[in-house]
């Protein structure tokens, strides 16, 4: 944490992942922006408090926290964010977008409300209902844990028989809240999905992500190379993280898609995040399928999208915290 003035309250960055936000911390340090890190995996608060010692809280908790042994952070975080709302504390990605982040079922309800297309799906709360839920859907289907992240809790089933076998032997994963989607898996036109990042609820950039074979982890910070085979520096990942075959390139979605993404962001109060869609190769139409209230940005962004999104994120945080006018020239 950098020092400026005792009169300036720092930004609180609330997170539990050890690596994803290193580029942000480095950018804030470079600017001497005052901030503190709050560990979402080991945190507490006083319901009787009437104020907090921070100018702004930046919520960076991921639904995938349970994969790192931090599952206790998921529902606790929602309680704390609601507490901050009651106090009137400014929060980036507060209770409303976080609530949507941790419910794929709610995401589909919102897409339906907005009149936006998504691959057909059913919501279940017990493995025994998976077969009945799949009827009327086209196989292959995906069973997706309601609370996932980084591709966790997603299994592909090629046929009703394979789904029935999984239900019978207890291998269907309903996740930590015992809710899951049974959803059609659309074949990807040109073999990629598109992730559109927003900042301040507005378009920031987009990337096409070509998944590794058989993998559902589309975390942009884990991308290893561009589509032309150029290696990327994964500054937001652990140094010894195994490389994968995921590839990425800058994308330029149609204006209509960008407008739809911004409508989603506005509807859920999403300050920063990534909204993903695919184009179904069978009909050539786009379908939205995931809303991520956490974005750790694409690896080596300058070489993919042409600029450093962490610098723009730092600008945004300074402005939201009320630092921007006093920090002119500091960056």
Distance between CA 99 and CA 76 in Å, rounded?
12
**Range with top average pLDDT, 85-89, 149-153, 248-252:** 85-89
Q: What is the pLDDT of residue 263?
A: 98
Q: What is the pLDDT of residue 17?
A: 87
Residues 295 and 200: beta-carbon distance below 8 Å: no
**Cα-to-chain-centroid distance, residue 220:** 10
The CATH architecture that domain 121-184 belongs to is 2-Layer Sandwich (3.30)
Average pLDDT, the chain: 88
Who wins on pLDDT, 229 or 141? 141
Fold of 187-299: D-amino Acid Aminotransferase; Chain A, domain 1 (3.30.470)
Distance between CA 163 and CA 155 in Å, rounded?
10
Residues 148 and 154: beta-carbon distance below 8 Å: yes
Given this chain, do its domains 11-95+314-327 and 121-184 carry the same CATH topology?
no
* Alpha-carbon dihedral sign for residues 223, 253, 106, 13: positive
**Model confidence over 179-237: pLDDT tens digits?**
999 999 999 999 999 999 999 999 999 999 998 766 555 555 555 554 455 554 545 44
Domain positions in the chain: 11-95+314-327, 121-184, 187-299
Residue in the block written with tokens 């996932």: 148
Q: How far is CA 269 from CA 3, 65, 81, 97, 202, in A?
A: 31, 22, 13, 6, 11
Task: Provide CB contacts within 8 A for 307, sequence distance 6+.
Answer: 205, 301
Q: With bands split at pLDDT 50, 70 and 90, how would you rate the model's confidence at 294?
A: confident
* Share above pLDDT 70 across residues of the chain, in percent, rounded to a whole number: 85
pTM: 0.88
Q: What is the pLDDT of residue 218?
A: 57
Distance between CA 195 and CA 207 in Å, rounded?
5
In the predicted model, is pLDDT for residue 240 greater than 50?
no
In the predicted model, is pLDDT for residue 287 greater than 50?
yes
Fold of 11-95+314-327: Rossmann fold (3.40.50)
**Average pLDDT in the 166-175 region?**
93
In the predicted model, is pLDDT for residue 285 greater than 90?
yes
Who wins on pLDDT, 37 or 222? 37
Residues 299 and 221: beta-carbon distance below 8 Å: yes
């Amino acid at each position: 944490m950098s020092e400026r003035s005792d009169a300036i309250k720092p930004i609180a960055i609330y997170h539990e992942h050890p690596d994803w936000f290193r580029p942000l911390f480095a950018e804030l340090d470079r600017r001497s922006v005052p901030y503190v890190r709050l560990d979402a995996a080991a945190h507490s608060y006083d319901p009787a408090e009437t104020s907090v010692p921070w100018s702004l809280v930046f919520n960076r908790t991921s639904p995938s926290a349970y994969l790192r042994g931090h599952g206790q952070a998921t529902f606790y975080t929602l309680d704390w964010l609601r507490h901050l709302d009651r106090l009137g504390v400014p929060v980036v990605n507060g209770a409303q977008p976080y609530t949507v982040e941790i419910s794929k079922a709610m995401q589909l309800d919102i897409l339906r409300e907005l009149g936006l297309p998504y691959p057909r799906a059913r919501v279940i709360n017990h493995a025994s209902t998976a077969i009945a839920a799949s009827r009327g859907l086209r196989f292959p289907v995906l069973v997706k844990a309601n609370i996932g992240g980084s591709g966790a809790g997603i299994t592909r089933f090629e046929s009703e028989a394979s789904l029935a076998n999984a239900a019978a032997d207890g291998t269907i994963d309903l996740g930590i809240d015992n809710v899951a989607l049974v959803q059609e898996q659309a074949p990807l036109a040109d073999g990629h999905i598109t992730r559109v990042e927003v900042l301040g609820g507005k378009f920031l950039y987009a990337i096409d992500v070509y998944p590794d074979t058989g993998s559902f982890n589309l975390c942009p910070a884990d991308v290893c190379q561009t589509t032309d085979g150029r290696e990327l520096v994964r500054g937001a990942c652990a140094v010894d993280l195994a490389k994968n075959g995921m590839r990425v390139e800058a994308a330029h979605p149609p204006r209509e898609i960008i407008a739809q993404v911004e409508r989603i962001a506005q509807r859920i109060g999403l300050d920063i995040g990534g909204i993903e869609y695919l184009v179904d190769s069978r009909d050539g139409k786009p379908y939205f399928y995931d809303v991520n209230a956490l974005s750790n940005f694409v690896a080596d962004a300058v070489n993919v999208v042409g600029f450093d999104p962490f610098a723009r994120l730092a600008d945004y945080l300074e402005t939201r915290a009320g630092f921007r006018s006093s920090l002119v020239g500091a960056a």
